[in-house]
Amino acid sequence: MSHLDFAKTPPMGWNSWDCYGASVREDEVRAHADFMAENLKEYGWEYVVVDIQWSEPEADSTWYHAFYPLCMDEYSRLIPAENRFPSAANGVGFKALGDYIHDKGLKFGIHIMRGIPRQAVHQNTPIKGTDLRARDIAENNICPWNSDMYGVNVDKPEGQLYYDSLMELYASWGVDFIKVDDIANSYLYGGGHLKEIAAIRKAIDKTGREIVLSLSPGPAKVHEGWFLQDNANMWRMTDDFWDHWDALYVMFDRCAEWAPFVRPGNWPDCDMLPLGHIGIRAHDGGGGDNWTRFTKDEQYLLMSLWTIFQSPLMYGGTLPDIDDFTLSLFTNKAVMEMYHSLTSRRQLYRDEQFIIWEAASADDKYYGVFNVSEAAAELPAVLKELLDGESYTDLWANQELAKAEAMTVNSHGGRLFKVVK
Amino acid sequence: MSHLDFAKTPPMGWNSWDCYGASVREDEVRAHADFMAENLKEYGWEYVVVDIQWSEPEADSTWYHAFYPLCMDEYSRLIPAENRFPSAANGVGFKALGDYIHDKGLKFGIHIMRGIPRQAVHQNTPIKGTDLRARDIAENNICPWNSDMYGVNVDKPEGQLYYDSLMELYASWGVDFIKVDDIANSYLYGGGHLKEIAAIRKAIDKTGREIVLSLSPGPAKVHEGWFLQDNANMWRMTDDFWDHWDALYVMFDRCAEWAPFVRPGNWPDCDMLPLGHIGIRAHDGGGGDNWTRFTKDEQYLLMSLWTIFQSPLMYGGTLPDIDDFTLSLFTNKAVMEMYHSLTSRRQLYRDEQFIIWEAASADDKYYGVFNVSEAAAELPAVLKELLDGESYTDLWANQELAKAEAMTVNSHGGRLFKVVK
Amino acid sequence: MSHLDFAKTPPMGWNSWDCYGASVREDEVRAHADFMAENLKEYGWEYVVVDIQWSEPEADSTWYHAFYPLCMDEYSRLIPAENRFPSAANGVGFKALGDYIHDKGLKFGIHIMRGIPRQAVHQNTPIKGTDLRARDIAENNICPWNSDMYGVNVDKPEGQLYYDSLMELYASWGVDFIKVDDIANSYLYGGGHLKEIAAIRKAIDKTGREIVLSLSPGPAKVHEGWFLQDNANMWRMTDDFWDHWDALYVMFDRCAEWAPFVRPGNWPDCDMLPLGHIGIRAHDGGGGDNWTRFTKDEQYLLMSLWTIFQSPLMYGGTLPDIDDFTLSLFTNKAVMEMYHSLTSRRQLYRDEQFIIWEAASADDKYYGVFNVSEAAAELPAVLKELLDGESYTDLWANQELAKAEAMTVNSHGGRLFKVVK
Amino acid sequence: MSHLDFAKTPPMGWNSWDCYGASVREDEVRAHADFMAENLKEYGWEYVVVDIQWSEPEADSTWYHAFYPLCMDEYSRLIPAENRFPSAANGVGFKALGDYIHDKGLKFGIHIMRGIPRQAVHQNTPIKGTDLRARDIAENNICPWNSDMYGVNVDKPEGQLYYDSLMELYASWGVDFIKVDDIANSYLYGGGHLKEIAAIRKAIDKTGREIVLSLSPGPAKVHEGWFLQDNANMWRMTDDFWDHWDALYVMFDRCAEWAPFVRPGNWPDCDMLPLGHIGIRAHDGGGGDNWTRFTKDEQYLLMSLWTIFQSPLMYGGTLPDIDDFTLSLFTNKAVMEMYHSLTSRRQLYRDEQFIIWEAASADDKYYGVFNVSEAAAELPAVLKELLDGESYTDLWANQELAKAEAMTVNSHGGRLFKVVK
């Protein structure tokens, strides 16, 4: 079995970072799983992902406490902080939380950092399955923005063993999705990150479990695209995405570049959706506890781009108090049908005002049109020509349109059209 | 009709550069067409391409005469130098030569430089279809290694008109293939080359003729891969390729990076094959009038990589005096069958010694194995595992092999295997 | 004699670009010389410099007419356009204008582009002193922003001869200052600009005339600083400077980097002073026919930095209608005394709010203090400490100050202090 | 007192790295001090420098033991490993060794890494003079090639306090020279190394002791040259220098670039002299326990360049068993007189074959001539012209030469000439 044999459509779910930073607690995770099962599952939403530093007892926001001790087992593996995840007591790790999520028909995801805990290295603790110890397999390289880990020397069989022992543990917890961080984009230390990606790939394959592998942060490099296709299911195309127009605007370039790499099992990733209520205990991106700073037009544009490009969809806002508008973005049947069925997609046209994408499923043809200018404008002539003589549906408006319809697109707005046969 | 609707398999043919530099003459072109029609056409070889500076009467090698006058028509368009191409007399251009080639069941290709002749600009000559003149549409940018042309300002409609007038002329000559130079890789002047590529695409589409568009020189940029897919049939992945191991070795990296972009109508290009007798009047690449400096093993390796990657195949050596060995590389039925039928291909494995590619057609599975080390070696374990329990054919040896065959690959050698069902 | 034996203090004068772009006329030049002789000469201002394209009859602003014919003599050398410079009639070139300026006790400067006219190359005109012609010594490299010239191959003795013939002509006109453009900063074609600089140095030395050599545009590269010291009197540290705070602010970095290279005969150049009335026929820098957009505070800051760093001072505004404030910046005796006498200077301190420079002459110590923040502020503690127990003079205010004076510096303002012994 | 007030001539001495890597022992240091005092002191050699990792008890070569515990005092400061430096017993640190060296009329130097020990951070040990602890002042940045330290946050006053406490300790030991490593060239983490350099400068200044500050590794950046002049006495111009011609050849470029920055108190550094017997317990640079791989000609060239450029001279080979030839390079009175007295120096000329430097003291003029080609050659014409009509001395040969002497320079050889008045 290869990783291309699952994740046949882009992964969809919820991730705790945009709301809670490094500090999410078990009750919060459960509440989101509850809501997802009841309201979103039918549209394809299924992964519930606990983001970074679930081993750090004092984590309280997106700001890490540098060099603080982490919870760790006897084999130098990080385990959940029990004060934050009570069900992890008695050494069961995330097994109980995973079971809870699975019982709802959903899937369970976790975040890890590339490497081995620095505290393990300086305490020189054991590695499962070998007499070598943490110091012997650590590499003198680090993540520049988090002080938890050193890299692992996977040229040594014992380095591979360590990653094997990690994945074995996660598989035993029932993990279905792993977001590995500090690994997709690395200018540090000459490209060693690629070796660690390959080692993690092997370690997952050994478990026999269908665990989606997601790589962060971006920007991943296009010239390494072939390697990422061979080793991962998702990889980030940009640095962390927040609710700023500039960050959204640049995604059009990234999607154009990465479109040739999209295929079943391989889903270049536009990052989480900072929509709805975010920033509860997250300070990144200049935000605070607030509702997304994207306008409604920008949210349509964002969802149109993410879905026609077939980025994974990982919602970053809260679910229990989600509003109707945000929910409507995730539960549009026509959009979701397009999103799940596309077999090709590419940027078709671009000028200062409009960007147009075209995409196709086995049966249907779609266009996405995006007004990236600062003023509302009529549909561009290029698109009118393409639609000329066709009937088409506006997917967000859920409206069939006569031929040659005059139509305005708001500034920073986006629309999706399906050509009606 | 889109350019993806033709060139459904990678273009194959002969190009005059590696033998004659800028100086090929009509009799030489005809002699190559004759040989191709008789001996190679049945294997898929069909394009006969006249490379650079067919407008320069005094061209005599790969070394250009800077700032020499070129032959030009009344609309600032370069035309063949009649002293070198006698059939171009009386203003018929390449029509007669094209007809000759077509009559043999082959196709005719030419090389052009991006832009408009500098001599047109400084003489301020007319442009077809407009009152503007050469000076009005020229851009102050140049090719760094050839002094013939200025760029064209295609933001002006008259700039597009100039390219339209060129393609109209070439279509009237019966041109089937255009290699545009100084356009695929440009660090000069901030990326304007992309606009000129798009203008040439439009100009070709307007002719309604199925003219293959090939872009040079490389390295093209992977992050512009999506754009190249949308606008061209072929683009170079490296700078000019000559018969050096280093240049061949680096092609493995380029092929790995570009493999996701290969598809019908889009054929990233490893460049011409400097095999057989080359350098008659060409001095580039450190060579002279000689037979290729590649060993036979390296030639097998080269042909195995080019074909399993599905690079275009453009032979650079002479045809009339070709030797049996070189000819055998181009006329292996099993290799050609693989080459024409693949639907996917990728680098599977790489270590210091071996590189393995795998590829598939609708019906068959193939492996290419390449020994890039300095010593002969047994097949790598990875490949043995893959072939274990299978029967397979060695395509170059044309030999069916029992399971678990012990086999050696020479240093710098390559083999192609087809798995027998 | 070496170029370090003259220009012992930084060159001062007027340059036509900021007012007139490429289009200055003889009457305008004379009017500026008249004013300078009468009002500024006594303060050290002496060079009157005719900037770019004095050979282009139709030049009318900062916007060049690409590929237009230029006035040229029989040896491929550009000569003044007589419609703009009537005294150049009868082949005397700039001799008459130079004499006029010299008679006033001033010095005469001109601008040239690196290279040989493209029109000479395409017409293949003669070179003085050799049978080779323009085509034989031209290099296929160009300036990216002006279409007049090709580079010269100075590896050929005849290339050096061409530059010799140019400098011989300019010396015969009485030229005292040459600003060579397209030569100090070149990313094009692999560094060949350094060879042309050396060739121009040699050509000037052969004339025996004390001609100041000024190189443009910037940014020159610090790692080539040693070479520039050996070959030129001035070189630009940035791209063209206009009246924007951002451009002024960045000059602090450049001055800090280049300060180790300042010495008699070598004056790294902050570029012309876009003060007073500018933009008469100049459109660059976003301006038009207007008075400088710098505030008075910014003008004090600018003049303080330029003088304590000892940049050349080349006024870019008009002189005949200059206002009292602008004139006062150029005629402050205490500032000019500092400017002419410094023997060392360096950035001493920098924080978000203040930058402090210190400098010394043989006898005196000076400080420049610059408030680069957006609010007025008291002198920084660092400077107060340095001045503690000293008496000092505020040079712009011409005011002696008691010790420990409380003092405010306006936002974007600068002051110069001399420590009184 | 400023650091420009001492180190008025370039520092000279011996450093333990090239012989012993990280593993030098006290008896070895003393033996080198003994020899220096007796044989080299009179020529200006005076610093005895203990290089990296004197706190690591198990250090045994140039290969570090990653993550091993280091000897540390109660304030998170590294102290000598007593098993290697017995006189450090009882908490006296390097005081006793320093005294021994001072008693011989020599000076004592040590090496340190930028930052605070990682073991201090993970154990969260105290900092002298504050309640904050190691974790509070550490930065999450590291040296890529050594695992001992984290960076220090010197934006916090307590970070500065830590460096103050270090320098206070070193001053109490009698340290005269500190080589700080991982600080002169840093591509990591956006330039924060400059802040740490400034903090170390301040900390040294507070001690009131004349401690030479030397920064490693290179290449330092020329555009930061002004900053290095303001803060250090020496800084490396290249990465580690070993006995390879390529590394020696490239030093000509570096010296040309950095010559404008040489002045009393500021000595850009060509690195240690890998001459004589080296590699006893050092494996870097491809060497082993052997005599230098430089030819005698290359050694003359090296010493000629180092001295005419006025690089610091830090011998890297063993002293007790030094041979006569090597010793002769360090004890040539005429060369040393030149070296100590120069007031200016620069590259004068360069072609494919020869490089010429010129230099001057208050009274004398010198030339260095270097044959960088692969064949012996006569003195270049340029130099003959300069020496024409002069008498001159060949400093290494100690020979006065008649005018217009014919002279050959060996391949890779160098000579120094003094013009005799």
- For B329-358, what is each residue's pLDDT tens digit? 999 999 999 999 999 999 999 999 999 999
Tell if the CB–CB gap between B146 and C124 is shorter than 8 Å.
no
CA angle A262, A265, A269 (to 5 degrees): 55
Tell if the CB–CB gap between B141 and C145 is shorter than 8 Å.
no
Place of tokens 């349509």: A300
Strands D277-278 and C47-50: unpaired
In terms of CA atoms, which chain B residue is nearest residue C139? B66
Q: Of the candidates B223, B257, B259, which has its C-beta nearest A257's C-beta?
A: B223
Q: Is the dihedral of CA A183, A185, A187, A190 positive or negative?
A: positive
What confidence score (pLDDT) does residue A187 get?
62
What is the spatial order of strands in the sheet that B149-152 belongs to? B116-117, B149-152, B138-142
In terms of CA atoms, which chain A residue is nearest residue D189? A144
Alpha-carbon distance A256 to B115, whole Å?
A: 27
Q: Is the dihedral of CA D89, D94, D98, D101 positive or negative?
A: positive
Look at A34-48, B68-82, D278-292 and tell me which has the smallest mean pLDDT: D278-292
What mean pLDDT, rounded, does chain B reach?
95
Tell if the CB–CB gap between B67 and C138 is shorter than 8 Å.
yes
Is residue D37 very low, low, confident or very high in pLDDT (cuts 50, 70, 90)? very high
SS3 content of chain C, % helix, strand, coil (to 5): 35, 25, 40
Q: Which residues of C touch D228 (CB under 8 A)?
A: none
Tell if the CB–CB gap between A138 and D67 is shorter than 8 Å.
yes
Instruction: Please report, for residues B290, C50, C339, the alpha-carbon distance to residue C59 in angstroms, rounded to integers and kept in the order given.
Output: 55, 13, 36
Is residue D189 very low, low, confident or very high in pLDDT (cuts 50, 70, 90)? low
- What is the dotted CATH code of the domain comprising A3-331? 3.20.20.70
In terms of CA atoms, which chain C residue is nearest residue B141? C144
pLDDT 10s digits, D139-184:
999 998 999 999 999 999 999 999 999 999 999 999 999 999 999 8
How near does any CA of chain C get to the CA of D251, in Å?
A: 14
Alpha-carbon distance B26 to B93, whole Å?
A: 12
Given a cut of 60, is residue B412 above it in pLDDT?
yes
Given a cut of 60, is residue A215 above it in pLDDT?
yes
Q: Of the candidates B68, B122, B147, which has its C-beta nearest C67's C-beta?
A: B122
Identify from B3, B4, B155, B223 which residue to disrupt to test chain A contact, counting A C-beta atoms within 10 A and taking the largest count: B223
pLDDT 10s digits, D155-167:
999 999 999 999 9
Chain A adjacent subunits, 3+ CB pairs under 8 A: B, D
How near does any CA of chain B get to the CA of A417, in Å?
A: 22
In terms of CA atoms, which chain D residue is nearest residue A135? D67
Q: Of the candidates C68, C121, C140, which has its C-beta nearest B144's C-beta?
A: C140
Strands A212-215 and A177-181: parallel
Identify from A195, A202, A226 which residue to disrupt to test chain B contact, counting B C-beta atoms within 10 A and taking the largest count: A226
pLDDT 10s digits, C9-42:
999 999 999 999 999 999 999 999 999 999 999 9
Given a cut of 80, is residue D421 above it in pLDDT?
no
Identify which of D208, D206, D214 has the alpha carbon closest to the alpha carbon of residue D177. Answer: D214
Is residue B403 very low, low, confident or very high in pLDDT (cuts 50, 70, 90)? low
Tell if the CB–CB gap between A140 and D66 is shorter than 8 Å.
yes
The residues on C that touch D, with CB distances below 8 Å, are: 222-227, 229-230, 256-257, 259-261, 346-347
Contact exists between D and A (3 or more beta carbon pairs < 8 Å): yes
Amino acid at B319: L
Sequence-ordered list of residues with C-beta below 8 angstroms from that of D129, at least 6 positions apart, any chain: D161, D164, D165
pLDDT 10s digits, A166-181:
999 999 999 999 999 9
pTM: 0.92
Average pLDDT for B26-39: 98
Alpha-carbon distance C13 to C48, whole Å?
A: 6
**Three-state secondary-structure class, residue D369:** strand
Identify from B2, B252, B257, B386 which residue to disrupt to test chain A contact, counting A C-beta atoms within 10 A and taking the largest count: B257
Write phi, then psi, for B161 (nearest 5 degrees): -55, -40
Tell if the CB–CB gap between C223 and D227 is shorter than 8 Å.
no
pLDDT 10s digits, C163-193:
999 999 999 999 999 999 999 887 666 677 8
Is residue B287 very low, low, confident or very high in pLDDT (cuts 50, 70, 90)? confident
What confidence score (pLDDT) does residue B405 get?
65
Tell if the CB–CB gap between C140 and B66 is shorter than 8 Å.
yes
Identify from C155, C223, C343, C345 which residue to disrupt to test chain D contact, counting D C-beta atoms within 10 A and taking the largest count: C223
What mean pLDDT, rounded, does chain A reach?
95
Between residues B385 and D204, the one the model is more confident about:
D204
Identify which of D242, D249, D216 has the alpha carbon closest to the alpha carbon of residue D316. Answer: D242
Average pLDDT for B111-135: 98
Place of tokens 């046949």: A8
Contact exists between C and A (3 or more beta carbon pairs < 8 Å): no
In terms of CA atoms, which chain B residue is nearest residue A221? B223
How near does any CA of chain B get to the CA of A250, in Å?
A: 14
Helix (H), strand (E) at residue A206: helix A193-207
Q: Which residues of D touch A189 (CB under 8 A)?
A: 144
How near does any CA of chain C get to the CA of D238, in Å?
A: 14
Distance of CA D351 to the CA centre of its chain: 29
Alpha-carbon distance A34 to A53, whole Å?
A: 23
What is the spatial order of strands in the sheet that D47-50 belongs to? D267-269, D234-236, D212-215, D177-181, D107-113, D47-50, D12-15, D313-315
What confidence score (pLDDT) does residue B402 get?
67
What confidence score (pLDDT) does residue D401 get?
81
Average pLDDT for B290-296: 96
CA angle D157, D162, D166 (to 5 degrees): 145
Identify from A155, A202, A223 which residue to disrupt to test chain B contact, counting B C-beta atoms within 10 A and taking the largest count: A223
Kindly report the number of other CB atoms within 10 A of residue A157's CB atom. Answer: 12
Q: Which residues of D touch A140 (CB under 8 A)?
A: 66-67, 142-147
Alpha-carbon distance C268 to C235, whole Å?
A: 5
Alpha-carbon distance C377 to C413, whole Å?
A: 10
Amino acid at A284: D
Alpha-carbon distance C104 to B240, whole Å?
A: 61
Write phi, then psi, for B369 (nearest 5 degrees): -125, 135
Tell if the CB–CB gap between C225 and D347 is shorter than 8 Å.
no
Biggest alpha carbon–alpha carbon distance for chain A: 74
The answer to whether D139 and D153 are in contact (CB under 8 A) is yes
How near does any CA of chain C get to the CA of D416, in Å?
A: 21
Helix (H), strand (E) at residue D164: helix D157-173
Instruction: Please report, for residues A325, B269, C352, the alpha-carbon distance to residue B238 in angstroms, rounded to integers and kept in the order given.
Output: 50, 8, 47
What confidence score (pLDDT) does residue C190 get?
63
How near does any CA of chain B get to the CA of A321, in Å?
A: 41
Tell if the CB–CB gap between A142 and D140 is shorter than 8 Å.
yes
Q: Of the candidates A67, A140, A189, which has its C-beta nearest D121's C-beta?
A: A67
How near does any CA of chain B get to the CA of A226, in Å?
A: 6
In terms of CA atoms, which chain C residue is nearest residue B147? C140
Q: Which residues of D touch A63 (CB under 8 A)?
A: none
Q: Which residues of C touch B68 (CB under 8 A)?
A: 135
What confidence score (pLDDT) does residue A403 get?
64
Is residue D1 very low, low, confident or very high in pLDDT (cuts 50, 70, 90)? confident
Identify which of A255, B247, B141, B418 has the alpha carbon closest to the alpha carbon of residue C188. Answer: B141
What confidence score (pLDDT) does residue D380 get?
86
Average pLDDT for D342-364: 95
Q: Which residues of B touch C145 (CB under 8 A)?
A: 140
Between residues C399 and C44, the one the model is more confident about:
C44
Alpha-carbon distance D139 to D163, whole Å?
A: 14
Q: Which residues of D touch C260 (CB under 8 A)?
A: 225-226, 229, 260-261
How near does any CA of chain D get to the CA of A65, in Å?
A: 10
Q: A with B: how many residue pairs have Cβ under 8 Å apart?
A: 37
For the domain made up of D347-420, the CATH class stated in words is mainly beta
Domain ranges of chain D: 3-331, 347-420
Q: Which residues of A touch D67 (CB under 8 A)?
A: 121-122, 124, 135, 138, 140
The answer to whether D47 and D12 are in contact (CB under 8 A) is yes
The answer to whether C289 and C29 are in contact (CB under 8 A) is no
Is residue C407 very low, low, confident or very high in pLDDT (cuts 50, 70, 90)? confident
Is residue B385 very low, low, confident or very high in pLDDT (cuts 50, 70, 90)? confident
Is residue B192 very low, low, confident or very high in pLDDT (cuts 50, 70, 90)? confident
In terms of CA atoms, which chain A residue is nearest residue B255? A226
pLDDT 10s digits, A133-162:
999 999 999 998 999 999 999 999 999 999
The answer to whether D166 and D209 are in contact (CB under 8 A) is no
Identify from A147, A149, A152, A156 which residue to disrupt to test chain D contact, counting D C-beta atoms within 10 A and taking the largest count: A147
